[in-house]
Structure 1
Amino acid sequence: MKGKHRAVLCAWNLGPAAKMVAKTGLKNSESRTRPTESRSSRNESRTGSADRRSPHVSNVGTGLATAIADYVNVNAPSGTHVSEEASFPSLSQTNTPSYPYTLKFGILIENGFNSEEVKRVTDAFEKYAIMYDFIGEKFGAVTGSDGQTITIDTTFLITDAAMHDSLYVVGGNGGTSNPGIMNFVGNAYKHYKPIGVAATGNSYIYTSDQNNLAGVIFATTNPDFENAFVSAIAKQRFWGRT
């Protein structure tokens, strides 16, 4: 009698549990005898699939299709992308109407801030229903130069510049000692977001011949700082920034 049949007959006399074990073993034994697809076959299948898709990608862009083909190690497509010269200004982000309403920005603040200036700016924001958070090094309160305090809503560790449409760099008497403010400013700047800079926050803005500071509004050089900053917030992105 063959081995697998003998195992089933023996298990029949041992009860339901043993029967299940024997059946499972039989299935596993049978599965091991089935032919398996070789690694080379799988690679050929994957390569063939990628080869078939790359011409379709070339309809979008020849450069894109060539880069993808090189990355997945298949033949580059020979076709070219579809020629289309039509443009639709209504779909351009450049021509999108700009409004500041309901946008959100972060106020980067520390001890020694100018409470009068901060009050003027936040009043202007509330007029346009702009939402904002006071962001600090830690929870609690920060104290202005005149003794007034502001409660911190969140910290640099918890939130991120990507979660805000704009930044108001208030700073304080810490100079450039706050790495949280430096990190937020750097991220907002490279993503073309508007940045307002208080008189106490100038030290956090790095200027050079390579930076044109487009969309960066300084309180020290703009007598109508609040409104100029609101206008910049409404624009949302300054693509010409370097």
Structure 2
Amino acid sequence: MNFRNWMLGIFAAGTALSLTSLDPIGRVEAHGDVAPQAVDTAGLPDLGEEWLVENPWRDPDNQFWALAIKVGASGYNQNCARCHGLEVISGGLAPDLRYLEADDFGDEWYLERYQNGYTQNGVTKMPAFGELLGQEAAWAIRTYVETRPDEGALDPHSERLKAIRDVIQELAEKAMPAVEAEDTIAPLRTEMEEIADSLETGSGAPRAESVASRAALQLDGSDDSLKKTAEILTIGLSAAK
């Protein structure tokens, strides 16, 4: 799906393009009454006072790519998920940001809304985040959003990921140290990495970040890594439904 076509479709259908939200039980609410929450951008470089015009962390080979996604996920969940949905899966009334192109057009559209917010008929549908959160948070959230997998990308792998989760959870329940289970864990980690690498983004960004990549990264042999990996898979697969 093309984001520009999505927006044209909304207008063609006569639907007002408003940044409203669906809460978990389906009520439509404005977002403007929610105070923006500060985002901890520790570890990301200072981008200066002058706003950049394109995402500095789009390249997955950039040393800050993974951290930007982690910071952006936190910022998104605090400030954006209420309207745009968990894992950026929109309920249909707010723009589906998974399809906001990872290019100059997408960056321009995103920055305008992030910096200035959105008001309709005198009602604030989205607050202005620019001065309150700054551009490090802006581009971190942008990086998180544009790396979401395409619609249905995980579907062919969901049953296998559930099976992997069950194996890891069983090991965790046996209180087996991850280092002792490495012979079992290593091929599962590799398999999840391969699944992660096969996923395409909805935005056209070069690499997707997903429950598969998060789980593979967490499965590092550290204390509680088995339990944490099982939790990541459980929560992530539930959100992807």
TM-score w.r.t. the length of structure 2 is 0.25
Higher helix share: 2
Q: Which has the larger radius of gyration?
A: 1
Task: Say which structure, 1 or 2, has more relative contact order (CA 8 Å, 6+ apart).
Answer: 2
Given the two structures, how large is their TM-score scaled by the length of structure 1? 0.25
